[in-house]
Structure formats: structure tokens, C-alpha cells
């Protein structure tokens, strides 16, 4: 943004100082030499004008928070795996799992959050507040590494056990079949209501902890390699040390209701990209 042919000193102003503040050398002539400091998420219009008012230009700055809104999940012990009459072999045997406390994202990572960090949008269904998809495990790790470099934090993917515990509502669980309800239409986008596409995150009802979209919209990548369950009680399990497939959890927009149950497990090849799978983050 630049006032064309400006030769006088430049004045920078904003019509929304609640969102951004400006600091400038009164002799600068391009915004690349002016420091814009974000204060909160929002939109601000920035105006550059010569002191004599002869030339001016305007741009809009949109401040986006790439970090997720987090929900605290208090640690505890739960029964991981299937306990109903729709169990498949991959969901069995169920076992007692004890987890330490952690923080998990309220929503799946959105395309807007991805673009801020990665500068591109690989998703098949486009929309700022739609979940990012068409990404594989390696893409996600690149995103996490860049996010952590920018924030100085240690975000990561949830383990499969953390994902299931959070989806069940942690120690506030009411034992629902889906994450937050026994009525799938209340909490999930699936083949009965999605109309063949993803939807804006957070529209359906949350679960007991206030977490959204864990039974439908996109399935979500976990850090574990896929493998059979052990029947032995475990504490903070992280899965197999190696494998050919990564665990995916939660139903997606094209699944039927059975696949959207909390205990259902999925998996995809480590490098496979699909418009059915996204992810959410955990912070220890």
C-alpha cells in the first residue's frame, strides 16, 4: 500500500485501535517500513496519507489467531474401546486406560488457521472456517513445527487414548454413543445430514466438556500407529513404535451413523491425503 507519487511525510492512522496499533517514522513511504502491532483478533482499516492530504491509500488488516482455543481435560481412568452391541474387532478388547491431564482444541484446525501458518490451502472444500483437509501426517507435522516455532509452545497431535477420552467427555462423561449425545444429528455431520460436504466447525452441539465436531465433519488424525488393542490396563499409552498406518478417529461427512460412534477406529496410510480427514491439536 503506497500513496502514489508521495513526496511529503506520511501519516499512518487506523480506524480501529482496539485491534491494531501503529508505530511509524514520519518519513517513511511504504507500509513495509511501518510496524503494525496486533492487539486482538479483529479487523482494522489502516490509512496512509501525506501530511498535506494530497495523496492517500487505504488497506484493511485482518488479525487472525492461528492458535487453537483449548479445553482443559482433567486426567482420569476410563474404559477405552467398544462396550455396546455394534462392536467391530478393531474396537476390541476394551481395557482400562489412565491418562494425565491435557488440553485439547475446542475445534478441528480450520483452513484459516492453516493458511496463516502454511501460506496455502490444500482443502477440497474451501472456506475459512471449514476444517482443513486433504493433508497427511507429514503435512500436519510440518504445520505443528511451524506453529511451535512461531509460538514457542509444544502443540502436538493427540494420542488415540487422549482423543477417545476427550470425545467421551473425560471425567464428566455421560456415556453417550456419539460425542455429546445419543442423537447423532445433534452433534455430527454425517451422510444423513451433510449433503456431501464438510461444514463450518462448531455449529453442532458440543460434548460434555464443550468440545465440538468429534463424531462427524472430518475424521481426525492421531499420533499413534494403527495396531490391535492390548487387553492389559495401560497408563498414557502411545501406540506401536512403528507401522504402516496412522490412526484416524471420529466419523466424517460421508460416514453412516455406526462409523461415527466414539469407539470406532479408522486408519490411513502415513502419506495418504483425503478430503475426509483433518486434525485437532493438544497442548500438554
Instruction: For residue 267, give the DSSP letter.
Output: E
Mean pLDDT value of segment 170-198: 98
Strands (E), 70-228: 70-73, 76-80, 95-99, 102-105, 219-225
Architecture of domain 70-283: Alpha-Beta Complex (3.90)
CB atoms within 10 A of CB 23: 9
Residue 25: what pLDDT?
Answer: 60
Mean pLDDT value of segment 51-57: 81
What helix, strand, coil percent values describe the chain, rounded to 5?
15, 25, 55
49 vs 112, higher pLDDT: 112
Range with the lowest mean pLDDT among 14-28, 79-93, 202-216, 248-262? 14-28
Residue 30: what pLDDT?
Answer: 54
pLDDT digits (tens, 9 = 90+) for 8-47: 567 778 888 888 887 766 555 555 566 777 788 888 888 8
pLDDT digits (tens, 9 = 90+) for 57-78: 888 888 878 899 999 999 999 9
| Per-domain residue ranges of the chain | 10-63, 70-283
Band the pLDDT of 201: cuts 50, 70, 90: very high
Mean pLDDT across the chain: 91
107 pLDDT above the threshold of 50 = yes
CA 36 to CA 39: how far, in whole Å? 10
CA 116 to CA 66: how far, in whole Å? 6
3 pLDDT above the threshold of 50 = no
pLDDT digits (tens, 9 = 90+) for 247-275: 999 999 999 999 999 999 999 998 899 99
Mean pLDDT value of segment 144-155: 96
88 pLDDT above the threshold of 80 = yes
CA 31 to CA 47: how far, in whole Å? 10
Nearest to 217 by CA among 243, 170, 249: 249
Band the pLDDT of 4: cuts 50, 70, 90: very low
Band the pLDDT of 53: cuts 50, 70, 90: confident
Residue 44: what pLDDT?
Answer: 86
91 pLDDT above the threshold of 70 = yes
Amino acid at each position: 500500500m503506497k500513496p502514489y507519487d508521495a513526496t511529503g511525510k506520511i501519516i499512518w492512522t487506523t480506524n480501529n485501535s482496539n485491534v491494531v496499533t501503529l508505530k511509524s517514522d514520519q518519513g517513511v513511504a511504504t507500509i513495509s517500513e511501518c510496524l503494525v502491532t496486533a492487539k486482538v483478533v479483529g479487523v482494522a482499516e489502516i490509512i496512509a496519507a501525506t501530511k498535506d492530504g494530497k495523496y492517500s491509500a487505504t488497506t484493511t488488516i485482518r488479525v487472525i489467531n492461528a492458535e487453537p482455543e483449548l479445553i482443559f481435560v482433567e486426567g482420569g481412568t476410563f474404559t477405552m474401546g467398544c462396550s455396546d452391541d455394534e462392536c467391530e474387532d478393531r474396537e476390541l478388547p476394551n481395557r482400562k486406560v489412565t491418562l494425565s491431564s491435557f488440553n485439547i482444541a475446542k475445534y478441528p484446525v480450520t483452513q484459516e488457521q492453516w493458511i496463516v501458518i502454511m501460506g496455502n490451502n490444500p482443502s477440497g472444500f474451501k472456506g475459512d472456517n471449514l476444517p482443513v483437509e486433504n493433508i497427511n501426517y507429514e503435512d500436519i507435522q510440518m504445520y505443528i513445527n511451524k506453529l511451535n516455532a512461531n509460538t514457542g509452545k509444544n502443540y502436538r497431535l493427540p494420542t488415540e487414548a487422549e482423543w477417545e477420552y476427550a470425545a467421551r467427555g473425560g471425567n464428566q462423561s455421560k456415556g453417550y454413543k456419539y460425542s455429546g449425545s445419543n442423537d447423532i444429528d445433534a452433534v455430527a455431520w454425517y451422510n444423513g445430514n451433510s449433503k456431501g460436504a464438510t461444514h463450518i466447525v462448531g455449529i453442532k452441539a458440543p460434548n460434555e466438556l464443550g468440545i465440538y465436531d468429534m463424531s462427524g465433519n472430518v475424521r481426525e488424525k492421531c499420533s499413534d500407529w494403527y495396531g490391535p488393542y492390548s487387553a492389559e490396563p495401560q497408563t498414557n499409552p502411545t501406540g506401536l513404535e512403528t507401522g504402516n498406518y496412522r490412526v484416524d478417529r471420529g466419523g466424517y461427512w460421508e460416514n453412516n451413523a455406526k462409523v461415527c460412534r466414539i469407539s470406532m477406529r479408522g486408519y490411513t496410510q502415513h502419506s495418504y491425503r483425503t478430503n475426509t480427514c483433518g486434525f485437532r491439536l493438544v497442548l500438554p
